[in-house]
Amino acid sequence: MQSRLPTVVIAVAIVLALIGIGGVAFGAADKPSHDAASNGSTTTTEFVGDGGDAGGSGSTQSTLTTLAGATTTTAKAGAAPTTTAAAKPSAACPDPPATNADPGGNQPPAVGRYTYVNCADSSDTVETSITAGNSGNGITRRNVNGDSGGQEQTSSIAYGPAGVTVESLAFDTPQGHMTCDLNPDLENYPADMHVGAQWSGSSSCDIKNSKGVKFGTIKIDAAGKVTGKVAATVGSTTVNAWAVEGTITLTFDIPSFGSQTTHIIERGYYDAAHGIEVYRHTEATSSGGGQSVVRDEKLTSLTPKAS
């Protein structure tokens, strides 16, 4: 029996892994030469789609798995969705006050493990692991890893004169380790961060296994903007951060499943001096099965734990 590829797992998990360290929207950027990202840990939320056997027709049933504290909606294709509302976000993630202080330019984050806590449930935490990538020629790279469901996910991020760009993705599936080399690279944050800055663009990549066999493609269309400056509190520390909003439309095209589109809306507070988001609100909706997830979470400490 031929294997099946969980396309919707990849669709949402990869996007949330990308925005985990600092991106809420991506625009096109020039593509420098680089090495592929190394293996990492996992993600935060996953949509699970049953894709059917390779070469066969896809299933009309999709299910949603999400962490505690999120609002979830699931339905068969063409049916009215059934929604389960979780606890509303608590005062654990209040809106920070505006500030006139300049948060500064982009810096790569320190390596280590960063913990985020769900605003609606303090017992619900997820970790993002940052490791050093292959740096040189004025570019500092970080491999960004997250965790959910035991499937490893990694995005390779570059910090340099072009700003912050996403170069490649790598992730594990039941079919083995997959890679996706983005072309062109995606602009996570522009080099010139200021209130009113806007960026948009699109990119795509081929999903390939370790033998170079192509399973399908990912296409990303996105836009972002800096809307203000805030004084955000992380633990006992107050930092100046950029308020950023963005949208992402991610389309998967896999022959054994068909086409699946996921829409992401996010706003967050980006501490450029530490190279990391200190808060993020995420809304993800899958067009194929009436699925959605909403999540609010904040960083617990600017000092990472040892990996």
One-letter amino acid at 50 equals D
Closest residue by Cα to residue 213 from 258, 190, 242, 179: 179
Task: Please report which confidence band the pLDDT of residue 82 belongs to, taking 50, 70 and 90 as the band edges.
Answer: very low
Any residues with CB less than 8 A from the CB of 94 and at least 6 apart, and which?
none
Any residues with CB less than 8 A from the CB of 255 and at least 6 apart, and which?
54, 55, 216
Q: What is the pLDDT of residue 222?
A: 81
Whole-number Cα distances in Å, 291 to 12, 92, 236, 261 = 11, 26, 37, 11
- At 132-161, the pLDDT tens digits run 999 999 999 999 887 545 667 888 999 999
Q: What is the pLDDT of residue 126?
A: 85
One-letter amino acid at 265 equals I
Closest residue by Cα to residue 220 from 252, 192, 178: 252
Give 8 or 92, the one with higher predicted confidence. 92
Q: Residue range 73-96: average pLDDT?
A: 48
Give 143 or 81, the one with higher predicted confidence. 143
Task: Please report which confidence band the pLDDT of residue 203 belongs to, taking 50, 70 and 90 as the band edges.
Answer: very high
Percentage with pLDDT > 90 across the chain = 42
Q: How many CA atoms lie within 13 A of 303 on its CB side?
A: 3
**Cα–Cα distance, 153 to 307 (Å, whole number):** 16
Q: Residue range 184-198: average pLDDT?
A: 93
> What is the pTM for the complete model shown?
0.76
